[in-house]
């Protein structure tokens, strides 16, 4: 069974859900690689965990840059020699607007991080897990409630998260011969910078603006940790964890 001593990678580990998950992995005893754009924020995440700094490797990385991702995985191989779990979490969004007002530049900004970045990280992880001895590992992709249903004015983000579902399913099939498991966690309204405005009111499909419930990101972290700790002959294919009272069931 996976657990303490295994090597985990968390992308987008400098804030929000990624930070909460990196802290959870460190506290559970995983040797944890933290990737994100800002080195100082990654180091801050390690300090907040209270874990032994020797368990952590902080690597500044833009996941949409193939060279940077190659460098990230080179650093992992040099430090730890293997990789057991990836939480493929890094993502971004743009201000909500109808699809007719969405610029190609904003579309590409979201796709380059949420889709290209997720692919680059998953591909590199797959190759590491396929080549290592013992072979195998687990990739957990961060989907979203938006992988199922959109919010108003979210064409780029919603399309990117639907793409993650296809990526998850494909990796699950491709990974079977190599003991590489792949699952997806779809998160709804975890407290973060991205959801900071929700308690004050956000646009709804009927044109109104209403407050929405949020939950502590620690609940996402415990869910990811559960998925990660399963033996490789078991897999959570899809999990939805969300604020109980958010408008998802019955959205629209």
Is residue 233 very low, low, confident or very high in pLDDT (cuts 50, 70, 90)? very high
Note the pLDDT of residue 197: 75
Residue 127 predicted with pLDDT over 90? yes
Note the pLDDT of residue 3: 65
List domains and CATH numbers for the chain.
7-242 (3.40.50.720)
In sequence order, the β-bridge partners of residue 215 are 190
Q: What is the mean pLDDT of residues 157-174?
A: 97
Question: Distances from the Cα of 100 to the Cαs of 46, 203, 207, in angstroms?
Answer: 42, 18, 17
Distance CA 10, CA 140 (A): 10
Q: What is the mean pLDDT of residues 209-215?
A: 82
Residue 202 predicted with pLDDT over 90? no
Task: Determine if the peptide bond prior to 25 is cis (ω within 30°).
Answer: no
Q: What is the mean pLDDT of residues 128-142?
A: 97
Question: Cβ neighbours of residue 116 under 8 Å, at least 6 residues apart?
Answer: 63, 64
Name the active-site residue from 157, 168, 187, 243.
Answer: 157
Question: Distances from the Cα of 83 to the Cαs of 42, 44, 123, in angstroms?
Answer: 19, 23, 13
Residue 5 predicted with pLDDT over 80? no
Residue 1 predicted with pLDDT over 50? no
- Mean pLDDT of all residues in the chain? 93
Q: What is the pLDDT of residues 183-201, one digit of tens each?
A: 999 998 887 766 667 777 7
Note the pLDDT of residue 163: 97
Contact indicator for 1, 230 with CB cutoff of 8 Å: yes
Q: What is the pLDDT of residues 22-45, one digit of tens each?
A: 999 999 999 999 999 999 999 999
Active site (annotated) includes residue 248: no
Note the pLDDT of residue 2: 52
Q: What is the mean pLDDT of residues 60-71?
A: 98
Is residue 203 very low, low, confident or very high in pLDDT (cuts 50, 70, 90)? confident
Distance CA 217, CA 194 (A): 12
| Tokens (6 digits) for 103 | 């610029």
Contact indicator for 112, 156 with CB cutoff of 8 Å: no
| Tokens (6 digits) for 41 | 């924020």
- Residue with the larger pLDDT of the pair 2 and 247: 247
Q: What is the mean pLDDT of residues 202-226?
A: 88
Strand locations in the chain (E): 7-11, 31-36, 56-60, 85-88, 137-142, 180-188, 202-203, 209-210, 238-242
Q: Which of 116, 127, 168 is nearest to 144 (CA)?
A: 168
Note the pLDDT of residue 191: 76
| b/e 86-118 (16+ beta carbons within 10 angstroms → b) | bbbbbbbbbebeeeeebeeebbebbbbbbbbbb
Instruction: Say which residue the tokens 């949420």 belong to.
Output: 114
- Nearest 5°: phi and psi at 158? -65, -45
Question: pTM value?
Answer: 0.93
Instruction: Say which residue the tokens 């080179």 belong to.
Output: 74
């Amino acid at each position: 069974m996976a657990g303490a001593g295994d090597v985990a990678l968390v992308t987008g580990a400098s804030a929000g859900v990624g930070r909460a998950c990196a802290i959870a992995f460190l506290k559970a005893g995983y040797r944890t690689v933290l990737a994100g754009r800002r080195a100082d924020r990654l180091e801050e995440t390690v300090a907040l965990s209270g874990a032994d700094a020797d368990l952590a490797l902080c690597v500044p990385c833009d996941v949409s840059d193939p060279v940077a991702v190659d460098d990230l995985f080179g650093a992992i191989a040099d430090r730890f020699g293997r990789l057991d779990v990836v939480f493929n979490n890094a993502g971004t969004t743009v201000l909500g607007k109808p699809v007719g007002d969405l610029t190609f530049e904003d579309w590409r900004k979201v796709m380059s991080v949420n889709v290209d970045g997720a692919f680059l990280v998953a591909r590199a992880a797959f190759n590491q897990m396929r080549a290592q001895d013992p072979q195998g590992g687990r990739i957990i992709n961060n989907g979203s409630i938006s992988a199922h249903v959109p919010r108003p004015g979210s064409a780029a983000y919603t399309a990117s998260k639907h793409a993650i579902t296809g990526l998850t399913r494909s990796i699950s099939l491709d990974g079977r011969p190599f003991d590489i498991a792949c699952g997806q966690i779809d998160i709804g309204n975890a407290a973060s910078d991205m959801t900071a405005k929700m308690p004050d009111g956000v646009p709804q499909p009927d044109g109104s603006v209403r407050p929405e419930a949020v939950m502590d990101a620690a609940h996402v972290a415990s869910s990811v940790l559960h998925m990660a700790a399963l033996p490789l002959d078991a897999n959570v294919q899809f999990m939805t964890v969300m604020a109980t009272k958010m408008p998802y069931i019955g959205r629209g």
